[in-house]
């Protein structure tokens, strides 16, 4: 892709955290960006914060509903006529011992973290074929490293990594690039955290944005299909 000027991206879960950081970075690189969240009004308000209507679109979409993702992608195509980059970022984490995890909580994580990226890809696949575009999932180091109280989250992220890697093999013959990014601790609102100075040691959302930009600018002959990223110097309590 290399030259990003005028390219179009769609980012799920783009109203805050990693998704917001990616949106800011891609806008600064000259792209047009659509962000989605479950709250339509909030998505529209965040889009106004990011930029003008000519370059930013805020959409309401629940990624666990395939029809929502189809409508979101169609809205992007109606506005800009193309879709070059899709970032499946929406995610949720509930951390409890397996005996305390409810069926509803399990389903919420699987539906959002695993089914959601599948529905997003299915909705955008034809557009990405036309643009020879890029599909990126935001997974987690929890997709290869299991931990106590992480049964649902680990299962969803292990699944997401496997899904993304298999999709990469399916789609590269169509000149669609597919990668998964697996961050460690990121300074976001995830798991009811309120980012402040205590999170200064963590990866920042804009760092993931720059990583996405680097992937998009890489020579098309080269595909980093799975990227693990960690804080350089983790907090001692988290080592």
Q: How far is CA 27 from the centre of its chain?
A: 16
SS3 for the chain is CCCCCCCEEEEECCCCHHHHHHHHHHHHCCCEEEEEECCHHHHHHHHHHHCCCCCEEEEECCCCCHHHHHHHHHHHHHHHCCCCEEEECCCCCCCCCCCCCCHHHHHHHHHHHHHHHHHHHHHHHHHHHHHCCEEEEECCHHHCCCCCCCHHHHHHHHHHHHHHHHHHHHHHHHCCEEEEEEECCECCCHHHCCCCHHHCCCECHHHHHHHHHHHHHCCCCCCCCEEEECCCCCCHHHC
Q: In Å, how far are 40, 114, 121 from 155, measured between CA atoms?
A: 29, 9, 20
Known catalytic residue at 153: yes
**What tokens were used for 119?**
């529905």
Which residue is catalytic, options 10, 20, 135, 153? 153
Gap between the Cα atoms of 177 and 223, Å rounded: 7
Q: Are 100 and 148 in contact (CB under 8 A)?
A: no
Which residues are designated catalytic? 153
């Amino acid at each position: 892709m290399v030259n990003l000027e005028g390219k179009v991206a769609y980012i799920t879960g783009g109203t805050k955290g990693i998704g917001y950081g990616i949106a800011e970075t891609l806008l600064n690189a000259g792209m047009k960006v659509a962000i989605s969240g479950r709250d339509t009004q909030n998505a529209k308000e965040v889009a106004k914060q990011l930029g003008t209507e000519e370059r930013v679109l805020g959409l309401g979409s629940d990624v666990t509903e395939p029809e929502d993702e189809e409508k979101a992608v169609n809205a992007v195509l109606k506005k800009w006529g193309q879709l070059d980059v899709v970032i499946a970022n929406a995610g949720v984490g509930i951390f409890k011992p397996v005996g305390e995890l409810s069926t509803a909580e399990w389903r919420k994580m699987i539906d959002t973290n695993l089914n959601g990226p599948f529905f997003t890809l299915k909705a955008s696949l034809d557009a990405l074929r036309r643009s020879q575009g890029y599909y990126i999932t935001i997974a987690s180091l929890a997709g290869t490293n299991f931990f106590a109280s992480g049964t649902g989250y680990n299962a969803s992220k292990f699944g997401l990594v496997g899904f993304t890697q298999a999709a990469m093999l399916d789609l590269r013959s169509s000149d669609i690039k597919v990668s998964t990014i697996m961050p460690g601790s990121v300074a976001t609102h995830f798991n009811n955290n309120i980012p402040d100075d205590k999170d200064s040691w963590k990866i920042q959302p804009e760092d993931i944005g720059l990583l996405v930009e680097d992937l998009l600018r890489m020579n098309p002959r080269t595909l980093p299909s799975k990227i693990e990223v960690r804080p350089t110097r983790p907090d001692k309590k988290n080592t």
